[in-house]
Amino acid sequence: MTTEFTNLPAASPTTNGAARDLIIDARGVVKTYRTEDIVVNALRGVTLEVPRGEMVAIMGPSGCGKTTLLNCMSGLDEIDDGLILINGEDINRMSDNKRTEFRAKQMGFVFQFYNLLPVLSAVENVELPLLVSGTKPREARERALSALDLVGLRDWAKHRPAQLSGGQRQRVTIARALVNNPAIVWGDEPTGDLDTTNADAIMDLIVGLNRKQNQTFVIVTHAPEVAQRCHRIVHMKDGEIVSEEVAAGAPA
Amino acid sequence: MNEFFGIDMTWIMLALLGLLAVSLATVGWVFLRNRVMFMIGVRNIPRRRAQTTLIIIGLMLSTLIISAAFAIGDTADYSITNSAYQRLHSVDEIVQVQSGGDDDDGESFFEGESLISAAPIEQARADELVQRFRGIDGVDGAVAVIRGPAAASNLARGQTEPLVLLMGVNPSQLDGGFESDLQTVSGESADLTALPEGAIYLNESAADELDARPGDTVTLYAQNQPYEFTIAGVLVDRVLSGALSIDSGFVLPLDRAQELLGRPGEVDFILVSNEGGTRDGLDRSEEVMRRVESALLGSPLRASDVKQQLVDDAAEISSGIVTIFVVLGLFSIAAGMLLIFLIFVMLAAERRTEMGMSRAVGTKRLHLVQIFMSEGMVYNIGAAAVGCALGVVVSIGIVQVLARLFDEFGLNITFNVTVRSIVVSYCIGVVLTFLTVTFSAWRIGNINIVAAIRDTPEPVQGEKPPVRTTLIPTVFRYLYWLVFKPRGREWLRSALLLVAAVAGLAASAALASGDPATWLQVIAVLVQIAAVLVAVWFLFATFHMGSFLAVGGIALMLVGLGTDQGFFFGFGWSALIFGLAVVLAQLRFPQRPIYTAAGVILLVSWLLLAGGNTPFERVNGMDGGAEIFFLSGVSMVLAATFVIVYNADLLLHLLNWMGSAVSTLVPSIRTAVAYPLANKFRTGMTIAMISLVMFALVMMSTMNENFGQIFNSDEAIGPYAVVAIENPGNPIPDLAGTLQQEGFDTTPLAGDGNGPDGDDGIDPVYQANRSIAEVSQVSNLNEEGAQDWSGYPVLGMSDDFVRNARFTLQQRATGFESDDAVWDALAEDPDYALVDAFAIPQGGFGGPGAIVEGLEPTDETFEPIPFLVRDSATGTIKRVYVIGVLSTQSSGLFSGFWISNEAFNEVFERPELTQYLIRLDDRSQANEVARQIESTLIERGVQADSLRKIIQDFQDQQQGFLYLIQGFMGIGLFVGIAAVGVIAFRTVVERRQQIGMLRAIGYSRRAVALSFLMESSFTALLGIVSGIALALLLAYQLVNTDDFVPGGVDGFYIPWVQIILIGTFAFLASIVMTIVPSRQASSIPIAEALRYE
């Protein structure tokens, strides 16, 4: 089922967000990139609400602004206008340090090219978010090993990324994303660099985690088979959300 | 300067210009044949401006060091030569009674010249010779002069100079060549014939010392009599105005000077002036010398071409100075070349994907080499020019310091640099960089296309070992696999090698055949260089690195054993060990234990080699000089770097453990340490660069500190505290008596003067005139079978000195059980003698003054050595036996050939002067006692000094020079620091995406910046600590060898303050270099960084 989406006016964050238990409440988000000669309107007043525990896929052609939207919602990028509330907090009003700390505690990231540090072992990569948020090294190590256990890689803890397959690397990335028990996990083409078998395995893992832990996932993807395993699919074009649909993965 | 390492600088310049032309032609060929490759290379230059700036800095440092060294050499050459021309002015040759040894002992005329004449010339004879010389073709003047020591004071201004030279010149002989030599500072000619009675001229130095001006009244003390004079004028410092062995001089007409000196009818020299001016008169020196010498046949007089000797000395000294600066700069130059290599390897890493793509679409490996070579050459040409210019600027600074240091010696240092030196420096810089860039490009071109495009790690190089079949064929296959590279155009290699060998031999034959034309010599040298390069390329292209190094190493060790050259042996040993390690790695043994073991073996073996403690006597006794210092430094630094980079993960655990105490630092430490450990090559190169320069600096400081301590020990001065030297013009036969007469309070002096031995605390030593004192070991004959005499300071020991001195001896003759036994024998037998430690070959610090043959510093005892002592003026000879060698410590102040007073009086008619060595009850009063003695005997011109102060003054001067050299070597630190900067800038680019990820998962800006800073600090700190530790270890070994001080030293001194200063500077500078890239890293926009590929 596909419905036309209408941009909504900005609403009071506290009332709306609190009433519907929204973990993400983005309203009228505008992002423009400017170079010397060119102005690119990457996001033209996007509004998106995501309730806690939902898995949302964002799809659209290249350059439509889906990664930009993810970056803005996760606080990796600044917005020019609009409002983004994560867990009820206005992420764009935070100082850089506060936002960094917020990310470390509330968010996890899974990217297409894994972005693991090649010089650290799997377990060292996974424990990094814990260390930056002040967890004691011993405790961090234990939790990192548990996270690796969760993704089935405890035995590979001491291997470096170069010694792991693509699928294993992405599992390490997921373990790293989950180790802090974040409220939201952002995925930017999490299966984009994987073959079908590995991509399926990773999606099984993500869906399983969502079901078991009620983890919120926002996934940017080109792959319909990945999107269909989410609860909802949001379609974007030219910096706007043009439609959304309930995906096959939505609870009955 | 005209020569370097004994080779004419013009030749060096021509050969280097040839090599420069070859380098440029290579890139020119790329431009003409493959313009697109050239353009790709050139267009890469402006891609990253900050990085380009650092590359240029890195490339120019070697040129800077070389050009600074040559400019300093030019300055030294110009200044010394200029000083010689200024002082000698019209004087080209000097005729006098002269020691036969003077020409051989390496001293210049000024240093060797005594204050009084041992053998004067009768004036009538001199006048006759002057007339004869004036008739010689090529001579335009000759004048007879007398000189003698005196003391002077300018009472009106309260200034006294205890030692000046009084010069008497025959005014009637000044016409012709010497008319302009006596010239006032205002440029007027001084007319001696018109000088009124009671008037005198003095030179500029004397005027400065006495603060005297024309019209002032000065008192001259000669023959213990005061004479008052009015100053008629101040003359320019020249030989004729008394600037001879000392600077301060007075000038009178010959007859008045003879009267004052108490030597009527005598002269000391005849000065000869050649036709032509001050400089071009030198061209006639050879022919004039020949004619003057033939005129002197049968007489005891000899002629010296003093001006020529001084010009030659200047060339030798300047060449020596350049050698010192270049050799000590080698560490920095080596570090600079490592930096160039590192820069290009990192540039290649940055462009790896595009290189892979280029290769995929058809670019050949050679094309990649051409791209990098073109880019490198464009950097190179500009950077070498900047380096040359900055080198000149640096040398100007160094010259300013040198000028202050040498000002005390009266040497006026004036900056000067020749176009030739600049051309040579530029060519060396460009050619060295070209070779390094080409080697880097060759290595870079060897990439795996798929791995490069995907930017994944390079697959392991080399094919698998051969399959095992039966034993013998397998052994041969393994050997072949280990030694030879697998594929290639063998026929092309062999043909090229053959052509190179034939061309090289033909060039050698051309050079060896008689006296080939200049152009032929240049071409032959270039052909030889090309042949060597082809041979090296052939070896690299044919053999695996490991086997090549191992076999080459063995060959070099054999060469070393055959020639007794430690350099070849040590080089071969290092190559062998590294080669074996590479071979084992090729055989797939784990790298950590292999390279750790190789590093440790090399470290230990070099330490043993340096200390002469290897189990092999043959190896311990090999010859070596500064090149061994360089080689040992490079080998030890490389060995230590291998040990560090393969084991630094142990440090990681330690740092993590330490960092866990401050939990906010843990994430930064984790990434800061992990990256350098993962990039072994990069980290190793940076550590090696910093370590090399730190090693050189700390080694120099430590050796200098320990060297200084030798002469600071109590042993250096024995029982003495003060030395008082009489003015030969006002002799004092009995110092104690004279002091008492003058009312001097002798209480501080040791001994009461009334005891049974009459000890007054003063022990005289008699010094023979250096221009006539000669010694020769009885067995030392020259080629004609005649005795081979050497000029050497001969000293007569008074009975008091023998009784009280009792210096420690380094070696004793057989039959003498103790040092006291030797001193007792010296007191009883006038035929016994002592020598200082520097008289032994390689004894103390070796040097040109060695006169004893067949005795090594390590020999504990020796048979008494028969020596002859001669007065070359009278021909009197005495045989004595050397039965002891003074310790190195006491040889600093008490060097000489020591004979008994009786023997001294037998050989020499009279001492030139007497030195009084004074013992004090309380040595801390030495300065005060010396000052009081000088002021008491001011009119006698006695010079007194505390012995400790003499040592201190000498060390201060030496220290100044060493600081200067250290400063010069410190330029190399910028290489290491630049490397830290290059890597930091590069890593920001390289890790952009990872930085984005770190920021995404919660690293704050501060944590990212801190991580970068800590990463650079970690690498810099490893290099600094490694360099310091290696230098201290090697210095400890060297200080404890018999070559440093026979018999050993009483401790090892570490100049902690200097080391901490140098280390802190290097550390802080590397931090400063990382601040900008760290800030860049921390401010990278996260979303943009994550998109970056």
Taking an 8 Å cut-off on Cβ atoms, the answer to whether A101 and B1087 are in contact is no
pLDDT interval class at B1056 (50, 70, 90): very high
What are the tokens at B222?
């000669």
A170 interfacial to chain B (CB closer than 8 Å) = no
Cα separation, B1022 vs B6, in Å, equals 40
- What would the pLDDT profile of B986-996 be if each residue is shown by its tens digit? 788 778 888 88
- What would the pLDDT profile of B259-275 be if each residue is shown by its tens digit? 998 889 999 889 999 98
Question: Which span out of A71-75, B53-57, B534-538 was modeled with the highest average pLDDT?
Answer: A71-75
Chain A residue whose CA is closest to B455? A162
Instruction: Compute, in degrees rounded to 10, the torsion defined by CA atoms B347, B349, B350, B351.
Output: 90
Contact by Cβ (8 Å): B78, B753: no
Contact by Cβ (8 Å): B982, B55: yes
Rounded mean pLDDT of B526-535? 78
Cα separation, B149 vs B270, in Å, equals 18
Q: How far is A198 from chain B (nearest CA, A)?
A: 20
pLDDT interval class at B114 (50, 70, 90): low
Rounded mean pLDDT of B61-72? 85
Taking an 8 Å cut-off on Cβ atoms, the answer to whether B674 and A109 are in contact is no
Nearest to B1036 by CA among B709, B702, B632: B702
Asked whether residue B179 carries a pLDDT value surpassing 90, the answer given is no
Residue of A115, A124, A125, A172 for testing the chain B interface, max B β-carbons within 10 Å = A115
Q: At B3, which amino acid appears?
A: E
Whole-Å CA distances, B656 to B525, B670, B848: 57, 7, 57
A156 interfacial to chain B (CB closer than 8 Å) = no
Q: Report the SS3 class of residue B299.
A: coil
B1002 interfacial to chain A (CB closer than 8 Å) = yes
pLDDT interval class at B342 (50, 70, 90): confident
Cα separation, A210 vs A217, in Å, equals 7
pLDDT interval class at A156 (50, 70, 90): very high
Least confident window among B669-673, B832-836, B1014-1018 = B669-673
pLDDT interval class at B585 (50, 70, 90): confident
Taking an 8 Å cut-off on Cβ atoms, the answer to whether B1002 and A136 are in contact is no
CA B668, chain centre distance (Å): 45
Taking an 8 Å cut-off on Cβ atoms, the answer to whether B994 and A103 are in contact is no
Taking an 8 Å cut-off on Cβ atoms, the answer to whether A132 and B1003 are in contact is yes
Residue of A117, A136, A164, A189 for testing the chain B interface, max B β-carbons within 10 Å = A117
Q: How many CA atoms lie within 13 A of B502 on its CB side?
A: 5
Query: Which residues in chain A are closer than 8 Å to B663, comparing Cβ atoms?
Result: 131, 134-137
Query: What are the phi and psi torsion angles at B881 (to 5°)?
Result: -120, 125
Q: How far is A202 from chain B (nearest CA, A)?
A: 20
Q: At B583, which amino acid appears?
A: V
Rounded mean pLDDT of B102-111? 45
Cα separation, B213 vs B906, in Å, equals 46
pLDDT at A9: 32
Instruction: Compute, in degrees rounded to 10, the torsion defined by CA atoms A94, A99, A103, A109.
Output: 100
Chain A residue whose CA is closest to B676? A119
pLDDT interval class at A43 (50, 70, 90): very high
For the beta carbon of residue B155, count every other beta carbon within 10 angstroms.
13
Cα separation, B619 vs B609, in Å, equals 8
Going by C-beta distance under 8 Å and a sequence separation of 6 or more, which residues neighbour residue B175? B141
According to DSSP, the residues that pair with A26 across neighbouring strands are A48, A84
Cα separation, A30 vs A44, in Å, equals 5
Taking an 8 Å cut-off on Cβ atoms, the answer to whether B993 and A115 are in contact is yes
Question: Which span out of A181-195, B39-53, B122-136 was modeled with the highest average pLDDT?
Answer: B122-136
Cα separation, B293 vs B300, in Å, equals 11
Taking an 8 Å cut-off on Cβ atoms, the answer to whether B674 and A119 are in contact is yes
- What would the pLDDT profile of B369-379 be if each residue is shown by its tens digit? 888 888 888 88
Cα separation, B1083 vs B999, in Å, equals 10
What are the tokens at B496?
């090229």
What are the tokens at B190?
């001084």
pLDDT interval class at B1060 (50, 70, 90): very high
Query: Which residues in chain B are closer than 8 Å to A147, comparing Cβ atoms?
Result: none
Higher pLDDT, B980 or B794: B794
Taking an 8 Å cut-off on Cβ atoms, the answer to whether B1003 and A71 are in contact is no
**Of the partner residues A117, A133, A136, the one whose CB lies closest to the CB of residue B1002:** A133
Asked whether residue A59 carries a pLDDT value surpassing 70, the answer given is yes
- What would the pLDDT profile of B609-619 be if each residue is shown by its tens digit? 877 777 777 77
Q: How many CA atoms lie within 13 A of B719 on its CB side?
A: 19
Query: Which is it for the CA torsion B677, B678, B684, B689, positive or negative?
Result: negative
Nearest to B572 by CA among B586, B584, B561: B561
Cα separation, B175 vs B179, in Å, equals 5
Taking an 8 Å cut-off on Cβ atoms, the answer to whether B670 and A131 are in contact is yes
Higher pLDDT, A243 or B501: A243
B1019 interfacial to chain A (CB closer than 8 Å) = no
Whole-Å CA distances, B285 to B91, B141, B308, B345: 11, 13, 7, 58
Rg of chain B over CA atoms, in angstroms? Answer: 35
Residue of B677, B680, B1001, B1083 for testing the chain A interface, max A β-carbons within 10 Å = B1001
Query: Which residues in chain A are closer than 8 Å to B1092, comparing Cβ atoms?
Result: none
Taking an 8 Å cut-off on Cβ atoms, the answer to whether B1087 and A77 are in contact is yes
Q: How far is B671 from chain A (nearest CA, A)?
A: 8
Give the position of tokens 């006038």. B830
Rounded mean pLDDT of B139-144? 91
Q: Measure CA of the first residue to CA of the last residue in chain A; give whole Å.
A: 14
Residue of A103, A128, A218 for testing the chain B interface, max B β-carbons within 10 Å = A128
Chain B residue whose CA is closest to A128? B667
Residues 90-149 on A with a CB inside 8 Å of B are 96-97, 100-101, 103-105, 108-109, 111, 113, 115, 117-120, 124, 128-129, 131-137
Taking an 8 Å cut-off on Cβ atoms, the answer to whether B1087 and A71 are in contact is yes
Nearest to B191 by CA among B174, B205, B177: B174
Chain A residue whose CA is closest to B1091? A67
Helix axes B626-647, B591-610, angle to 10 degrees: 150
Taking an 8 Å cut-off on Cβ atoms, the answer to whether A115 and B1090 are in contact is yes
Rounded mean pLDDT of B19-25? 88
Query: Which residues in chain B are closer than 8 Å to A109, comparing Cβ atoms?
Result: 997, 1000-1001
Taking an 8 Å cut-off on Cβ atoms, the answer to whether A67 and B1091 are in contact is yes
pLDDT at B595: 93
Burial of B829 (0-12, 13-18, 19+ CB in 10 A): middle
Least confident window among B602-606, B700-704, B727-731 = B727-731
What are the tokens at B192?
């001696």
Rounded mean pLDDT of A122-129? 89
- What would the pLDDT profile of B390-422 be if each residue is shown by its tens digit? 999 988 988 888 787 777 666 677 888 889 889
pLDDT at B250: 94
Nearest to A167 by CA among A151, A185, A181: A151
B680 interfacial to chain A (CB closer than 8 Å) = no
pLDDT at B401: 81
For the entire predicted model, the pTM comes to 0.76
For the beta carbon of residue B47, count every other beta carbon within 10 angstroms.
11
Cα separation, B280 vs B274, in Å, equals 9
Nearest to B436 by CA among B384, B387, B374, B373: B373
Q: What share of chain A has pLDDT > 70, as a percent?
A: 90
Query: Which residues in chain B are closer than 8 Å to A137, comparing Cβ atoms?
Result: 656, 660, 663, 666
Q: Report the SS3 class of residue B271.
A: strand
Q: What is the DSSP letter of B184?
A: B
Contact by Cβ (8 Å): B446, B396: no
pLDDT at B408: 66
**Of the partner residues B674, B999, B1007, the one whose CB lies closest to the CB of residue A120:** B674
Rounded mean pLDDT of A237-241? 92
Asked whether residue B545 carries a pLDDT value surpassing 60, the answer given is yes
- What would the pLDDT profile of B888-940 be if each residue is shown by its tens digit? 888 888 888 999 999 999 998 888 889 999 999 888 889 999 999 988 888 78
Cα separation, B568 vs B860, in Å, equals 30
Average pLDDT, chain A: 83
Query: What are the phi and psi torsion angles at B774 (to 5°)?
Result: -135, 150
Query: Which residues in chain B are closer than 8 Å to A77, comparing Cβ atoms?
Result: 1085-1087
B682 interfacial to chain A (CB closer than 8 Å) = no
A33 interfacial to chain B (CB closer than 8 Å) = no
Q: How far is B432 from chain A (nearest CA, A)?
A: 35
What are the tokens at B100?
């036969």
Q: Report the SS3 class of residue B910.
A: coil
B1012 interfacial to chain A (CB closer than 8 Å) = no
Q: Report the SS3 class of residue B733.
A: coil
Average pLDDT, chain B: 82
pLDDT at A165: 86
Taking an 8 Å cut-off on Cβ atoms, the answer to whether A100 and B1002 are in contact is yes
Cα separation, A75 vs B1090, in Å, equals 13
Least confident window among B30-44, B204-218, B831-845, B1023-1037 = B831-845
Contact by Cβ (8 Å): B429, B66: yes
Higher pLDDT, B254 or A12: B254
Give the position of tokens 């005598």. B266
What are the tokens at B43?
């267009």
Residue of B353, B997, B1003 for testing the chain A interface, max A β-carbons within 10 Å = B997
Asked whether residue A3 carries a pLDDT value surpassing 50, the answer given is no
pLDDT at B460: 54
- What would the pLDDT profile of B785-831 be if each residue is shown by its tens digit? 777 888 888 999 999 999 998 998 988 999 898 999 999 999 899 99
Least confident window among A103-117, B445-459, B681-695 = B445-459
Asked whether residue A4 carries a pLDDT value surpassing 60, the answer given is no
The helix (H) or strand (E) run that includes residue A56 is: strand A55-59
pLDDT at A8: 33
Taking an 8 Å cut-off on Cβ atoms, the answer to whether B1002 and A109 are in contact is no
Q: At A51, which amino acid appears?
A: P
Taking an 8 Å cut-off on Cβ atoms, the answer to whether B999 and A76 are in contact is yes
According to DSSP, the residues that pair with B152 across neighbouring strands are B161, B220
A63 interfacial to chain B (CB closer than 8 Å) = no
| Residues listed for chain B | 1093
Rg of chain A over CA atoms, in angstroms? Answer: 18
What interface predicted TM-score (ipTM) does this complex get? 0.77
Q: At B304, which amino acid appears?
A: S
